[in-house]
């Protein structure tokens, strides 16, 4: 806690004045551009690696950047993630939702281990809210991973996006750069697009192409960020060589 208190003092000296100016600038007319779902991992600092600022994004975080599928709820108002979607996309009319996964995700590493039935047993779930959360909301990602496993990690997977008819194909880590848990993390990130689209209160916006869902993936040990390109059917490194093409794709399909 002393680190935090010292940090607050540093913020007062170096950052506060500038931030208050930014608060005043957006005060009467904040126009956030994205609802950004990511993991609670302490290494993930989305406003830093996207260089976004006051008023730019709603950020929602949980273990494993999971948006529970609406099938888990009697109605759609029973948990944080759909409430955040409503606040962002309906109340504030935000038109872009981003799900950002990352490498070496401790929640996803645990999800990978949950393939072991003893590890995932009812008794173990009872003593571990994290296991229970993953078993309830992330097994669809694990099932997709197992589909990939039987093809020796080479065949593409099919995911559903904004509507049941808007499916997309994804080659997961075709250069085989990442370990199995990271492949699962990429699959889990893409699986959330379907989960987001399961909410009835977003249906019209999604059908009319007024609301778009994107996937990003952050490689913690290199600091590189990948954008899932539906054109390229894979996560593409966002860098000088790919930037213009990605920008065109985003403008063409999602503006
Ligand atoms: Zn994580």
The domain limits of the chain are 31-254
- In angstroms, what is the span from residue 215 Cα to ligand 1's centroid? 15
- In angstroms, what is the span from residue 217 Cα to ligand 1's centroid? 11
DSSP letter at 88 equals I
CATH topology of domain 31-254: Beta-carbonic Anhydrase; Chain A (3.40.1050)
- In angstroms, what is the span from residue 107 Cα to ligand 1's centroid? 5
Tell me the C-alpha distance between 131 and 45, whole Å.
24
Binding residues for Zn(2+): 39, 41, 102, 105
Binding residues: 39, 41, 102, 105
For the chain (length 255 residues), average pLDDT per consecutive 10?
Answer: 95 95 87 96 95 94 96 72 95 96 98 86 83 93 96 95 94 97 98 96 95 97 97 97 94 76
Helix (H) or strand (E) holding 237: strand 234-237
pLDDT score at 122: 78
Going by C-alpha positions, the residue among 212, 247, 255 that lies closest to residue 227 is 247
- In angstroms, what is the span from residue 119 Cα to ligand 1's centroid? 19
pLDDT score at 255: 65
pLDDT score at 209: 93
- In angstroms, what is the span from residue 163 Cα to ligand 1's centroid? 27
**194 with 170: CB under 8 angstroms?**
no
pLDDT score at 77: 55
- In angstroms, what is the span from residue 24 Cα to ligand 1's centroid? 33
pLDDT score at 9: 96
- In angstroms, what is the span from residue 235 Cα to ligand 1's centroid? 18
**163 with 196: CB under 8 angstroms?**
no
Tell me the C-alpha distance between 105 and 220, whole Å.
9
- In angstroms, what is the span from residue 238 Cα to ligand 1's centroid? 20
- State the burial class of residue 202 (Cβ atoms within 10 Å of its Cβ: 0-12, 13-18, 19+): buried
pLDDT score at 217: 98
- In angstroms, what is the span from residue 212 Cα to ligand 1's centroid? 23
- In angstroms, what is the span from residue 48 Cα to ligand 1's centroid? 17
């Amino acid at each position: 806690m002393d680190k935090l208190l010292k940090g607050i003092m540093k913020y007062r000296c170096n950052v506060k004045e500038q931030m208050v100016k930014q608060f005043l600038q957006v005060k009467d007319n904040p126009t956030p551009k994205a609802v950004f779902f990511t993991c609670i991992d302490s290494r993930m600092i989305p406003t830093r690696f996207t260089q976004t600022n006051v008023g730019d994004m709603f950020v929602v975080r949980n273990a494993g950047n999971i948006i529970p599928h609406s099938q888990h709820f009697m109605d759609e108002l029973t948990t944080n993630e759909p409430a955040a979607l409503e606040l962002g996309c309906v109340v504030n009319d935000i038109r872009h939702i981003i799900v950002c996964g990352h490498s070496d995700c401790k929640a996803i590493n645990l999800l990978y281990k949950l393939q072991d039935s003893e590890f995932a047993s009812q008794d173990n779930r009872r003593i571990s809210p994290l296991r229970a959360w993953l078993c309830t909301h992330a097994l669809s990602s694990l099932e997709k991973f197992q589909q990939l496993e039987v093809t020796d990690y080479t065949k593409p997977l099919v995911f559903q996006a904004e509507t049941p008819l808007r499916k997309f194909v994804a080659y997961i880590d075709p250069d085989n750069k990442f370990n199995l848990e990271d492949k699962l993390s990429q699959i889990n990130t893409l699986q959330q697009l379907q989960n987001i689209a399961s909410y009835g209160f977003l249906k019209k916006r999604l059908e009319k192409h007024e609301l778009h869902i994107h996937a990003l993936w952050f490689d913690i040990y290199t600091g590189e960020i990948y954008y899932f390109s539906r054109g390229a059917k894979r996560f593409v490194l966002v860098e000088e060589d790919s930037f213009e093409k990605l920008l065109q794709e985003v403008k063409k399909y999602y503006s």
